[in-house]
């Protein structure tokens, strides 16, 4: 009887050991499969990254080719301005689009000193930004609210901690929030940074995105009249304080190759009647220096998006001055 009991205990022990070994083996196999899948995903993502970098190199070549024969002219008839282009590659595809960062309003242009020590004087870029906010007809945004948003953005950009005007905000305003932080007191890195600035709501930012951009570490305030979209007359309307109808008419006066020089633009009837000043004329150019590439790469269902800012020097040397990963 005792021998039978001993055999029963031994059998149960063996079964427990086998069950435990099976559990351990299953866990090891599952972890191994996870590691293999993780390594595969990393490899796929890395390949998508290099595809995107390839798109950047190709964009530099496209810009070089476009300006090789037209060094002092940038217009929408050139090869870089063909819109979004997609190329098939092994196990995926690459998409890219180049846009001119001087065909939109550079938000960093507000990082400038006032024209004089009087607090009533506003820099031209700030005045144009307030006009732009009103021109795009955002619900709930009037002249009063537009001025407050310009105040807040100016304070976010300037290097000091002093509130510029009634609608401004500095350290104490942001540090007193439920989740406190400090203002950058420096250039914007992305349009999406507006989300953390006082007075800027999601509807306002979404409405602005079609008209504004950010040139990294630059307060450049020059608009290329040749690359300004016919569908965005509000920018021209804001800078020159003109009617929307006149702005649309001026933009439609361009031929496929744009204006040959700024004088051709200033001689338009819609512009001559404005009697713009020499300082205002300095805001317009027909060639551009800053461009943005939006590249998306897909490899075996791994996606990678790259946003590159390209700078074209006078000698047609093209360099990358910033890169961001993901949606901008």
CATH code of 52's domain: 3.30.1300.30
Report the half-sphere exposure of 328 (CA within 13 A, side-chain side): 23
Tokens describing residue 108 = 């960093």
Full pLDDT tens readout for the chain, 328 residues: 556 566 667 777 778 888 888 888 888 887 877 777 777 777 888 888 999 999 999 999 999 999 988 888 999 999 999 999 999 988 889 999 999 999 999 999 999 765 444 444 578 899 999 999 999 988 888 999 999 999 999 999 998 888 877 788 888 889 888 899 999 999 999 999 999 999 999 999 999 999 999 999 999 999 999 999 988 899 999 999 999 999 999 999 998 889 999 999 999 999 999 988 888 889 999 999 999 999 999 988 888 999 999 999 887 899 999 999 887 6
Rounded to 10 degrees, what is the CA torsion of 213, 219, 225, 229?
0
In a domain, 320, yes or no: yes
In a domain, 236, yes or no: no
The pTM assigned to this predicted structure is 0.84
In a domain, 228, yes or no: no
In a domain, 187, yes or no: no
State how many domains the chain has: 1
In a domain, 279, yes or no: no
Tokens describing residue 150 = 């310009």
In a domain, 127, yes or no: no
In a domain, 86, yes or no: yes
**Domain coverage including residue 34:** 2-101+290-325
In 103-131, which positions are buried (b, 16+ CB within 10 angstroms) versus exposed (e)? bbbbbbbbbbeeeeeeeeebbbbbebbbb
Is residue 69 helix, strand or coil?
Answer: coil
In a domain, 247, yes or no: no
């Amino acid at each position: 009887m005792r021998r039978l009991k001993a055999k029963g205990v031994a059998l149960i022990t063996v079964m427990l050991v086998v069950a435990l070994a099976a559990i351990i083996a299953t866990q090891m196999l599952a972890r191994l499969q996870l590691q293999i899948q993780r390594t595969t995903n990393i490899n796929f993502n890395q390949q998508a990254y290099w595809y995107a970098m390839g798109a950047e190199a190709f964009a530099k070549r496209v810009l070089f080719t476009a300006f090789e024969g037209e060094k002092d002219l940038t217009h929408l008839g050139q090869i870089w301005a063909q819109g979004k282009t997609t190329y098939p590659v092994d196990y995926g595809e690459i998409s890219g689009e180049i846009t001119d960062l001087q065909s939109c309003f550079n938000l960093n242009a507000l990082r400038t000193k006032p024209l004089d020590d009087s607090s009533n004087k506003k820099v031209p870029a700030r005045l144009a930004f307030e006009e732009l906010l009103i021109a795009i007809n955002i619900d709930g945004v009037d002249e009063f609210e537009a001025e407050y948003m310009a105040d807040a953005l100016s304070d976010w950009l300037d290097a000091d901690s002093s509130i510029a005007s009634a609608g401004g905000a500095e350290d104490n305003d942001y540090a007193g929030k439920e989740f406190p932080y400090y203002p950058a007191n420096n250039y914007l890195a992305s349009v999406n940074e507006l989300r953390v600035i006082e007075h800027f709501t999601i509807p306002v930012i979404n409405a602005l995105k079609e008209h504004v951009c950010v040139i990294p570490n630059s307060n450049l305030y020059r608009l290329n009249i040749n690359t300004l979209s016919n569908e965005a007359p509000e920018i021209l309307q804001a800078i020159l304080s003109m009617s929307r109808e006149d702005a649309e008419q001026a933009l439609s006066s361009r031929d496929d190759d744009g204006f040959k020089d700024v004088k051709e633009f200033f001689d338009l009837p819609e512009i001559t009647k404005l009697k713009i000043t020499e300082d205002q004329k300095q805001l317009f150019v027909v060639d551009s220096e800053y461009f943005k590439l939006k590249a998306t790469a897909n490899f075996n269902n791994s996606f990678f998006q790259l946003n590159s800012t390209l700078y074209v020097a006078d000698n047609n040397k093209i360099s990358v001055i910033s890169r961001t990963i993901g949606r901008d």
